[in-house]
Amino acid sequence: MKKKAVDALPGSSWSPVLINPNLPPERADIVIVGGGVIGWSIAYWLKQKERVRGGLRVIVVERDPTYSRASTVLSAGGIRQQFSLLENIHLSLASADFMRNINDHLFVLKEDPVDLQFNHSGYMFLANEQVAHIMEENYRTQRSAGAEVSLLSPTQVKEKFPWINTDGVALASYGLENEGWFDPWSLLNAFRRKAVSMGVVQCCGEVTGGLCSHTQTPLCVMVEQVQMPNSLEYQPVECAIVVNAAGAFSGKLAEMLGIGSSPEDSIAGIPLPVEPRKRYIYVVHCPDGPGLDTPFLIDYSGVYFRREGLGGNYITGTSPEEDEEPDTSNLDVDHEFFVDKVWPSLAHRVPAFEKLKVTSAWAGFYDYNTFDQNGIIGVHPLINNMYFATGFSGHGLQQSPAVGRGVAELILDGNFRTLDLSGLSFRRILTQEPMLERNIV
Amino acid sequence: MAAALRSLHRCCQLPALLVVARRPWSSSSMTRPPVHTRLLLYLTQHFYDVEMLLTWMFNRKRTGIQKKNAYLGYAASLYGPQVAAAHFILTLKGGLRFKNQSDWFRANTKGKFSWDFVNYKDVQIEEIDLSNTMVNYRGLENLDTQRSLRTLSLKGCPEVDDWFLARLHVFQDSLEELDISHCPHITTGGLAALRNLKGLKRLDVSSLPRIQSPGLVVILLEDMLPKCDIVATGYDYSFVQEDEESKVQHMQGQSA
């Protein structure tokens, strides 16, 4: 009886019609499709930059709240400044700055301070004679951009890390500061917690379509159809701006919205060149392995490994050849790949790894940009309210804070303010001018 | 009608604050804060003013620390980097000793210090004592140029964290003694950053509260820095192993 009285008063959530409480609102200013670290970073920065409290209505739509197939949480979690493209170096440096002051940005009252579990162990790239000159050029670019990197000769490498076999190594590039690895789940949750406390609406559903207004020029996406999980219920969300931060699945989303379905020689006919690529990570245990100062070592053959915890566990993997890409319909791990491709090079480089045991493994998707393996950040040339922040091909996590800030500046201020990322816009795909990154792992 | 009710429901629910504030205290790893803090945080859920006030006080404290650690560019351009670094250390109530001098420059408890250090424009600083000061990563910019620094003491500094340790690589050629005991924000990931200090002869890592397995970490540090003498007191190294049976008996005894 008392409960009925409480329900009858205004402000209670009783209604005679059963409404699904998880539906997104009918109208929003900005819909961010994709609840990974890039999506939540953009949501946080949008709320951070809005000039009036509550002035922007932002929704983040994520179809899988368990994040079972999201690239963010399956990533190895490394951050480095050793890139060849200046934009990538600046993005990574800005993100490291953000992570250093993360509690000034993402602290929420009444919650614990953010702990990223950052290991400052640095990255080390090994080069053989053919690519040593590329490494030297990259070193000069990195130093001029402000990254703290040093070049080492094979004897210096052997002196610093006696467990490396320097056979075939002509030059090594070692990061001194702002490089290492961290916990991607903590970063994602920190962004999400802060964004939700600032008023971003989190919606669990899948975007199954979008209505473009063809009568108006220029074209714009007006309504996004969000379908609830495991049901036929959907909610059309009217929006002013759509941000595609769907990671490995952004190519499919773009196709759904009609990008790339016109004849090939028109602007509308160019598809978003992002597709999922499966990558394996193997956890191995080696009791006699390298110690606390192990950097994230990347060999010129493509094999990488890093220390995980203090108990002699390491994470390792490699990128497969172009023509041997594994099937992306599931996230099953191929253990033969480890024995055939990873272990020989690993044992050759670090002789202690001849005796190891694979304790576990997982697979994750790269949001691989088939055009030039670098992120696509910016607005679509035709649909003027569709923004992209995808295609990072394995280095999205480490650039996420700076990318979020860039996209928020683009949306709210109209152009980039702190970092000029116009080189990474969709325009380079139209003009077919690739910005190739020579240091992709 | 359904739409109107839904929007009313949403307005009244204050979704943002409640989502954040619903976590009970028992799941937090921190110990319960004092009563006045708990009262303030309870009020924060219900009043925007209290929330704004608390956020403003927190931000003011942070900007205060950043201001103390600002880069003394004007002093550096007028008097040179050594004098600017000395001034910075003295305003933070630290101590320093120049190369080839035997006396230390320090501020007294009221914060006053003598200005004799201005005479040592071209002399590098050899030992710095910044224990119990508010120095942080931003302040290290003032000390970057002292490339013949031999001793650095950061005992009990509340703002020294892993990123600060990572920046210490600028002293890798000269640093011989480092004391980072009692710093509450240093974790194992930061200790891995000391890999670059190959010339280190003495390292003090006592009583670091955020190190989970201190014995193992000390052994790994000794492997990483073979020429270094590592001091690590203040940890409980005893083995406390309860096997399953005694644990069950203990719990049964408690419930009975």
Contact (Cβ atoms closer than 8 angstroms) between residue B203 and residue B221: yes
Annotation: CATH topology of A27-73+186-273+371-431: FAD/NAD(P)-binding domain (3.50.50)
Interface of B with A in 183-222 (CB under 8 A): 187-193, 195-196, 198, 213, 216-217, 220-221
pLDDT recorded at residue A226: 80
| pLDDT above 90: residue B179 | yes
> Chain A to chain B, count of Cβ pairs less than 8 Å apart?
104
Contact (Cβ atoms closer than 8 angstroms) between residue B6 and residue B15: no
Please check whether residue A9 touches B, CB under 8 A. Answer: no
Which of A11, A112, A180 is facing B29, going by the closest CB pair?
A112
Q: What does pLDDT average to over chain A?
A: 90
Confidence of residue B27 (pLDDT cuts 50, 70, 90): very low
pLDDT recorded at residue A220: 66
Contact (Cβ atoms closer than 8 angstroms) between residue B203 and residue B176: no
For residues B198-219, average pLDDT: 91
In B, minimum Cα distance to A195 occurs at: B16
Which residue, among B9, B180, B194, would best test binding to A if mutated, counting the most A CBs under 10 Å from its CB?
Answer: B9
CB contact under 8 Å between A111 and B20, yes or no, is yes
pLDDT recorded at residue B122: 87
Interface of A with B in 282-311 (CB under 8 A): 291-293, 310
Please check whether residue B5 touches A, CB under 8 A. Answer: yes
Q: Give A391 to chain B, closest Cα distance, Å.
A: 30
> CA nearest A341: which of A288, A287, A282?
A282
Residue A236, classed as helix, strand or coil, is strand
Q: Which residues of A touch B30 (CB under 8 A)?
A: 112
pLDDT recorded at residue B165: 94
Q: Phi and psi for A236 in degrees, rounded to 5?
A: -80, 125
Q: Which residues of A touch B12 (CB under 8 A)?
A: 10-11
Which of B44, B187, B196 is facing A110, going by the closest CB pair?
B44
| pLDDT above 70: residue B1 | no
CB contact under 8 Å between B224 and A291, yes or no, is yes
In B, minimum Cα distance to A312 occurs at: B220
pLDDT recorded at residue A218: 52
CB contact under 8 Å between A196 and B17, yes or no, is no
Least confident range from A141-145, A147-151, A429-433, B232-236: namely B232-236
> CA nearest A46: which of A61, A34, A58, A37?
A58
Q: Return the half-sphere exposure (C-beta side, CA atoms, 13 A cut-off) of residue B239.
A: 3
Residues B139, B140, B144, B147: what is their CA dihedral angle, to the nearest 10 degrees? 130
CB contact under 8 Å between A15 and B3, yes or no, is no
Give residue-wise pLDDT tens across range B29-74. Answer: 556 778 888 888 888 888 888 888 888 998 999 999 999 999 999 9
What whole-number distance in Å separates Cα of residue A304 and Cα of residue A316? 6
* pLDDT over 90, % of chain A: 68
pLDDT recorded at residue A439: 65
Write down the ipTM of this complex: 0.87
Give residue-wise pLDDT tens across range B159-177. Answer: 999 999 999 999 998 999 9
Please check whether residue B122 touches A, CB under 8 A. Answer: no
> Going by CATH, does the domain composed of A120-178+278-364 fall within 3.30.9.10?
yes
Task: Name beta bridge partners: A283.
Answer: A315, A360
Q: Give B130 to chain A, closest Cα distance, Å.
A: 21
> CA nearest B208: which of B240, B236, B185, B239?
B185
> CA nearest A153: which of A130, A178, A138, A136?
A136
Confidence of residue A441 (pLDDT cuts 50, 70, 90): low
pLDDT recorded at residue B9: 46
Give residue-wise pLDDT tens across range A288-331. Answer: 889 898 999 999 999 999 999 898 999 999 988 888 888 888 89
Q: Give B74 to chain A, closest Cα distance, Å.
A: 23
For residues A341-352, average pLDDT: 93
Q: Which residues of A touch B196 (CB under 8 A)?
A: 176
Which residue, among A107, A111, A293, would best test binding to B if mutated, counting the most B CBs under 10 Å from its CB?
Answer: A293
| pLDDT above 50: residue B192 | yes
| pLDDT above 80: residue B104 | yes
Please check whether residue A263 touches B, CB under 8 A. Answer: no
CB contact under 8 Å between B44 and A11, yes or no, is no
pLDDT recorded at residue B15: 45
| pLDDT above 70: residue A84 | yes
pLDDT recorded at residue B249: 63
Which of A109, A148, A197 is facing B16, going by the closest CB pair?
A197
pLDDT recorded at residue B234: 86
Interface of B with A in 31-50 (CB under 8 A): 41, 44-45
For residues A353-376, average pLDDT: 93
Confidence of residue B26 (pLDDT cuts 50, 70, 90): very low
| pTM of the shown model | 0.88
Planar angle of CA A14, A19, A25, nearest 5 degrees: 110
In A, minimum Cα distance to B13 occurs at: A11
For residues B223-247, average pLDDT: 77
In A, minimum Cα distance to B48 occurs at: A53
| pLDDT above 50: residue B21 | no
| pLDDT above 60: residue A50 | yes
Q: Which residues of B touch A310 (CB under 8 A)?
A: 188, 213, 216-217, 220
Q: Where are the domains of chain A?
A: 27-73+186-273+371-431, 120-178+278-364
Q: Which residues of A touch B17 (CB under 8 A)?
A: 197
| pLDDT above 50: residue B8 | no
Return the H-helix or E-strand segment holding B143. helix B140-143
CB contact under 8 Å between B62 and A121, yes or no, is no
CB contact under 8 Å between B3 and A26, yes or no, is yes
CB contact under 8 Å between B192 and A108, yes or no, is no
> CA nearest A167: which of A123, A124, A128?
A128
pLDDT recorded at residue B256: 47
What is the DSSP pairing of strand A313-317 with strand B105-106? unpaired
